[in-house]
């Protein structure tokens, strides 16, 4: 069978599922959010001064990064799960979240004395961050990998990695509500490392469980 014919066959199979793939992805996203919220509330929960912190730009900037990451990853993974679907625009949009963090870091370096840079970077919750973002995200990652099997991705490793980014963005959004370290330097370092762990796990899951 030629590659184009195989892609068309996979696309037809994906479209013939009991539930349309687009609707199934929204259902999976809702289920993943519920799982992440449950783990978050049963473990660490929001910080005590959440309402007061919500009035500060530094606190809200964390959510700008994590939510944009989750939204762009969701758009890309939906495209990747459909054979033959265009992924160029969704792939390009993935640069938005890193750019937001980079801009925030530059502003932080200009506004904060150099003597405080290392303190802001290390923060006070480094190990908690790197532990709980993967913990909150592992359930959503499993859901997203299962959804990839429901579709028919032609690049399973890449699709699995994006599933990890999506799970990481979702988990980091919840974790940000607990985190007392609001510095962009902290977010750019430790949030990124924690999300990268889920991304690698997702790529491995794509390699082992999503390939066809």
pLDDT band, very low/low/confident/very high, at 3 (cuts 50, 70, 90) = low
Percent of the chain with pLDDT over 70: 90
Between 54 and 18, the more confident residue is 54
pLDDT of residue 153: 87
Q: Which two tokens stand for residue 145?
A: 């990998």
Quickly list H helices, 44-179: 50-53, 57-80, 88-93, 96-111, 117-122, 126-150, 156-176
CA distance 200 to 77: 15
Does residue 84 register a pLDDT over 90? no
Cα end-to-end span (Å), the chain: 14
pLDDT of residue 173: 98
CA distance 16 to 68: 31
Output the CA torsion sign for 28, 29, 33, 34.
negative
pLDDT band, very low/low/confident/very high, at 10 (cuts 50, 70, 90) = low
Q: Say if residues 198 and 171 touch (Cβ distance below 8 Å).
A: yes
pLDDT band, very low/low/confident/very high, at 147 (cuts 50, 70, 90) = very high
Q: Tens digits of per-residue pLDDT, 181-199?
A: 999 999 999 999 999 999 9
Does residue 89 register a pLDDT over 90? yes
> Which DSSP category does 115 fall into?
G
Output the CA torsion sign for 99, 166, 27, 6.
positive
pLDDT band, very low/low/confident/very high, at 18 (cuts 50, 70, 90) = low
Does residue 2 register a pLDDT over 60? no
pLDDT band, very low/low/confident/very high, at 152 (cuts 50, 70, 90) = confident
Does residue 92 register a pLDDT over 70? yes
Q: Say if residues 111 and 174 touch (Cβ distance below 8 Å).
A: no
Q: Tens digits of per-residue pLDDT, 31-70?
A: 999 999 999 999 999 999 999 999 999 999 999 999 999 9
Does residue 83 register a pLDDT over 80? no
Q: What is the mean pLDDT of residues 113-118?
A: 93
Q: What is the mean pLDDT of residues 66-78?
A: 97
Does residue 114 register a pLDDT over 70? yes
Angle, helices 156-176/126-150, rounded to nearest 10 degrees? 140
CA-based nearest residue to 183, from 47, 67, 65: 65
pLDDT of residue 171: 98
């Amino acid at each position: 069978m030629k590659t184009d014919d195989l892609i068309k066959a996979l696309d037809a199979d994906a479209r013939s599922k009991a539930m349309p793939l687009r609707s199934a992805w929204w259902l999976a996203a809702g289920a993943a959010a519920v799982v992440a919220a449950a783990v978050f509330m049963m473990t660490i929960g929001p910080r005590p001064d959440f309402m007061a912190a919500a009035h500060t730009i530094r606190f809200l900037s964390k959510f700008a990064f994590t939510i944009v990451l989750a939204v762009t990853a969701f758009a890309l993974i939906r495209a990747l799960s459909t054979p033959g679907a265009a992924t160029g625009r969704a792939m390009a949009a993935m640069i938005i979240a890193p750019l937001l963090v980079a801009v925030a870091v530059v502003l932080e370096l200009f506004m904060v004395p150099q003597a405080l840079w290392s303190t802001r970077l290390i923060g006070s919750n480094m190990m908690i961050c790197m532990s709980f973002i993967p913990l909150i995200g592992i359930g959503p990652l499993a859901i997203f990998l299962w959804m990839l099997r429901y579709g028919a991705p032609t690049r399973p490793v890449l699709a699995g990695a994006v599933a990890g980014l999506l799970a990481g963005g979702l988990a980091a959004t919840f974790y940000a509500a607990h985190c007392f370290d609001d510095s962009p330097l902290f977010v750019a370092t430790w949030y990124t490392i924690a999300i990268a762990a889920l991304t690698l796990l997702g790529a491995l899951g794509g390699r082992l469980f999503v390939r066809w």
